[in-house]
Structure 1
Amino acid sequence: MKILESLKWRYAIKKYDKSRKIASTDLEKIKEAVRYSASSYGLQLYKILIIEDEEVREKLRAASFDQEKVTDASHLVVFCNYTNPTPDDVDKYVKLTAETRNQDIEALEGFSKSMKKNIEAKGEEVDHWTENQVYIALGTLLAAASELKIDSSPMEGFKPPEYNKILGLEERGLNAAVIAAIGYRSEEDTYHHQAKVRKPSDELFETI
């Protein structure tokens, strides 16, 4: 499996080579992989922002405990979950499903009602549910980047309220849930020279 070798190669890089940028063709491949990531019901109740603007990234770095990865990596990716998904979000997905599969939208009415009912039942926990969804997309991004020998660093060390303010997310019904720096490792980064540490298989897995 090629993916195994790619994941063994991958490290959470601490220091990026600021001079190296991801080619647009490779960035599109990563985006397409994330677009096909697993998602509950297939709804994809999130928005993914790819931050290139240097001034914006300087502001975000200040909201990320001054981590240099935010500004030095080729791109900063911000995964934003919907904070208040609505029946309209379901309707848009059902319409897209009907168009993509050449189906009558009426045939999907039961599926639509089921989704709406289940989302409504989540109540105040719904934003927690949508926030969990972005982590699936994040995992896909990390794997896809490693296939292309592009480094990545998932990050929770930032202040979501400040990100939301800087990027104008709240008024869009979005919340910055997790971020990732992607780019190329600097030779000054010491971590990728060290052996990767993971639990042995017989300790991690248990068959019942």
Structure 2
Amino acid sequence: MNPASLASQRYTTKAYDPSQRVPQATIDELLVLLRQAPSSVNSQPWHFVVARTDEGKARLAKGTQGAYAYNQPKVMDASHVILICARTDMTDAHLTQVLKQEEQDGRFRDGEARAGQDRTRQGYVNLHRYERKDLQHWMEKQAYLALGTLLLGAAALGVDATPMEGFDPQQLDVELGLREQGYTSVVLVALGRRSEKDFNAALPKSRLPAECVITTL
């Protein structure tokens, strides 16, 4: 199936069948997609927490209490749940790690190319840190690039998915000790097999017409 067909057919699952498990090999493929997702200047300012057990899902479900209780069944009934996190700062240690990995993977023809990549990435980080003053927002944008990659990949592999902003990120930051590790919660994604009770599965997909959202120059 081509990407356009996948995008047209995928939808946000509202109810999962808790008896159905996604094979670990399929989840592993999706984790490869997350790692390979694009990010601005290859900054990779993210971390992914994967819950595959009832105990793990229960920990993530702590973020879906109170006003967000409507999402708790999705978290608990899904096969797997992924919490996409963003860094809380673009540290020198992280930038050095990325640069070393690029060098190890053979991305630089010589020292000048390596230095140029470092300057470019540092330049963008400093732009968002000091001039635009939106570094956190910029890093979270990269996390959403990973989310889009994950959703389309899940559709390609026949996995139902639900992206969720309806949770308490502070609660999960505390539960998982994320801030101490330099991360913060951004978005939850449930993965699994839809339930027969999923009302959204039978509804037609709705998007604005192409002429409303696309301008050709």
Task: Tell me the TM-score normalised to structure 1 length.
Answer: 0.93
CA contact (8 A) 2:62 2:172 kept: no
Change (3 A) 1:186 1:125: same
Q: Alpha-carbon deviation of 1:63?
A: 1.9
Deviations along 1:75-123, whole A, 9 cap, x unmatched? 1110110111112212111111111116466331132123223313322
* Alignment partner, residue 39 of structure 2: 39
Following the alignment from structure 1 to structure 2, what is the Cα–Cα distance between the partners of residues 122 and 78?
25
Q: Which runs of 4+ in 1 moved over 6 A?
A: none
Following the alignment from structure 1 to structure 2, what is the Cα–Cα distance between the partners of residues 130 and 51?
23
Aligned length: 208
Deviations along 1:119-173, whole A, 9 cap, x unmatched? 1332252111111110000000000000011100111000110010111101001
Which of 158, 161, 178 is residue 152 of structure 1 equivalent to? 161
| Structure 2 residue ranges without an equivalent (≥5) | none
Question: What pairs up with 1:57-68 in 2 under 5 angstroms?
Answer: 57-64=57-64, 65-66=68-69, 67=71, 68=73
Change (3 A) 1:18 1:103: same
* Alignment partner, residue 48 of structure 2: 48
Which of 162, 165, 178 is residue 169 of structure 1 equivalent to? 178
* Alignment partner, residue 71 of structure 1: 76
* Alignment partner, residue 96 of structure 2: 91
CA contact (8 A) 1:80 1:134 kept: yes
Change (3 A) 1:128 1:14: same
| Structure 1 residue ranges without an equivalent (≥5) | none
**Which 10-residue stretch deviates more, 187-196 or 52-61?**
52-61
CA RMSD of aligned residues (A): 1.6
CA contact (8 A) 2:38 2:146 kept: yes
1:70 partner letter: V
2:116 paired with 1:110? yes
Change (3 A) 1:179 1:105: farther
Change (3 A) 1:77 1:113: same
CA contact (8 A) 1:6 1:149 kept: no
**Which 10-residue stretch deviates more, 159-168 or 52-61?**
52-61
Change (3 A) 1:21 1:116: same
